[in-house]
């Protein structure tokens, strides 16, 4: 079946696909850093254009599968299936199989865990909300995202990414909003692994906590804040070694367990922020745009000033270490057109930048505040609200960057 998607640009497809094809599609799309919905779209278009008789795919035991297609493509696809005398499930399976054949994995390339640094020197712009919402949307399976019912654990785990959300802000708002306490001072934490790794007795993975919710299928974890983070800048001042690489040296040992790591950064331009920016740089053999900065801003003048300060710091760090730090995009947060000319004209200015692009405009609605009060993930508390849809829009942009 299909139904109109938000904005009318795409249609929701809920069908069935063999589990082995679902897994192969997920892995290959991750290897090629392609959004799964774009891979399925390309597969269906190639299937429709093919004049050859494609081999029959064994679809016995096919499980629920959901994605989005460009408006009108699903109806055209179904008509072609009828003309060719195959079921919709068989046609979809052949399309995915064809895409896999036409898009082989680059076995020579070492896949990197993507690193998304959510940052802005200005406080109060919603870095924590965007960090959490983006991570939730990346971990959310396509069936859940499309509004389909989750009936089995395998459906819940359809194609969401394995995501680690790092509360890198000493204030610990992210941890608190998700019902967690910051790690007490003196106990092992991210700060221990950054400054005193030789004293660490546990893997950082052991300190992470799974964020509950059927939509996330156990794929979303958080590394809580640490009270010791207030001392991080002063600790980095006397650190013996490359200070800019301390966050990377702490997180690198656990990167293999995650597809994406999202860092909720502090409102700071200090040494700790340098370490976060360096961690988000483009690595060797990494596709441009895979990792980098997502910058929440507001539609008002002081956000533009703070953005300029952040970019100065980023450019300076990039020059000092001869690295590339990419701006994946801006998120205009807490937007309310009723605030008048300042809001609307500021939004126009953000969009006029062009580079980096505005990934989404998140409205100032009650659902985010309610989710915080109830200490629940936004996409679990209000999955169908406009704010949740905008978080998914950011996630799609990040996936395809």
CATH number at residue 128: 3.40.50.300
Q: Which stretches within 157-197 are classed as H helix? A: 173-177, 190-195
The pLDDT of residue 151 = 43
Place of tokens 């989710």: 371
Same domain, 197 and 329: yes
Same domain, 165 and 307: yes
The pLDDT of residue 323 = 92
Dihedral of CA atoms 271, 274, 276, 278 in degrees, nearest 10, equals -140
Instruction: Give the number of C-alpha atoms closer than 13 A to the C-alpha of residue 345, restricted to the C-beta side.
Output: 4
Question: Would residue 107 count as lying in a domain?
Answer: no
Q: 52, 73, 102: which is the final residue of a domain?
A: 102
In angstroms, the CA 141 to CA 150 distance is 10
Domain count, the chain: 2
Structure tokens of 103?
Answer: 């898009």
Question: Would residue 109 count as lying in a domain?
Answer: no
In angstroms, the CA 334 to CA 130 distance is 10
Domain containing residue 135? 114-400
In angstroms, the CA 401 to CA 312 distance is 23
Q: What's the pLDDT tens digit per position in 29-81?
A: 877 778 888 999 999 999 999 988 888 998 887 888 988 899 899 999 999 99
The pLDDT of residue 401 = 66
Q: What's the pLDDT tens digit per position in 147-172?
A: 655 444 444 445 689 999 999 998 99
Q: Tell whether the model's pLDDT for residue 142 goes beyond 70.
A: no
Same domain, 79 and 27: yes
Same domain, 221 and 364: yes
Q: Which stretches within 184-240 are classed as H helix? A: 190-195, 232-237
In angstroms, the CA 215 to CA 7 distance is 23
The pLDDT of residue 320 = 92
Same domain, 94 and 159: no
pTM: 0.72
Same domain, 6 and 118: no
Same domain, 161 and 98: no
């Amino acid at each position: 079946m299909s139904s109109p998607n938000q904005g009318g640009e795409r249609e929701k497809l809920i069908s069935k696909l063999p589990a082995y094809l679902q897994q192969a599609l997920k892995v290959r799309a991750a290897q090629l850093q392609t959004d799964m919905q774009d891979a399925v779209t390309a597969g269906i278009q190639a299937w429709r254009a093919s004049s050859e008789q494609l081999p029959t795919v064994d679809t016995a035991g096919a499980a629920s599968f959901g994605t989005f297609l460009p408006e009108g493509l699903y109806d055209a696809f179904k008509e072609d299936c009828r003309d060719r005398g195959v079921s919709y499930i068989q046609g979809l399976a052949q399309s995915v199989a064809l895409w896999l054949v036409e898009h082989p994995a680059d076995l020579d390339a070492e896949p990197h865990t993507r690193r998304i640094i959510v940052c802005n020197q200005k406080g109060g712009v919603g870095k924590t909300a965007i960090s959490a919402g983006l991570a939730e949307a990346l971990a959310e399976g396509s069936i859940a995202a499309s509004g389909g019912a989750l009936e089995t654990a395998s459906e819940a785990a359809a194609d969401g990414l394995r995501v680690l959300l790092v509360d890198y802000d000493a204030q610990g708002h992210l941890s608190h909003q998700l019902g967690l306490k910051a790690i007490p001072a003196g106990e092992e934490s991210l700060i221990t692994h950054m400054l005193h790794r030789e004293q660490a007795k546990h893997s950082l993975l052991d300190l992470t906590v799974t964020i509950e919710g059927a939509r996330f299928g156990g794929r979303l974890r958080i590394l809580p804040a640490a009270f010791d983070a207030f001392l991080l800048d002063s600790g980095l001042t006397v650190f013996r070694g490359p200070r800019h690489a301390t966050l990377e040296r702490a997180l690198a040992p656990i990167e293999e367990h995650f597809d994406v790591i999202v860092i909720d950064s502090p409102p700071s331009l200090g040494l700790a922020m340098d370490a976060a920016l360096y961690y988000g740089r483009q690595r060797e053999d990494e596709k441009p745009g895979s990792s980098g900065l997502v910058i929440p801003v507001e539609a008002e003048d002081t956000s533009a000033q703070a953005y300029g300060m952040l970019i100065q710091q980023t450019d300076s760090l990039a020059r000092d270490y001869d690295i590339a730090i990419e701006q994946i995009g801006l998120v205009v947060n807490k937007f309310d057109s009723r605030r008048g000319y300042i809001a609307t004209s500021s939004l126009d200015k953000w969009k006029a930048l062009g580079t980096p692009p505005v990934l989404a405009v998140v409205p100032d609605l009650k659902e985010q505040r309610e989710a915080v009060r109830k200490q629940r993930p936004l996409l679990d508390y209000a999955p169908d609200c406009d704010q949740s849809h905008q978080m998914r829009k950011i996630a799609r942009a990040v996936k395809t960057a």
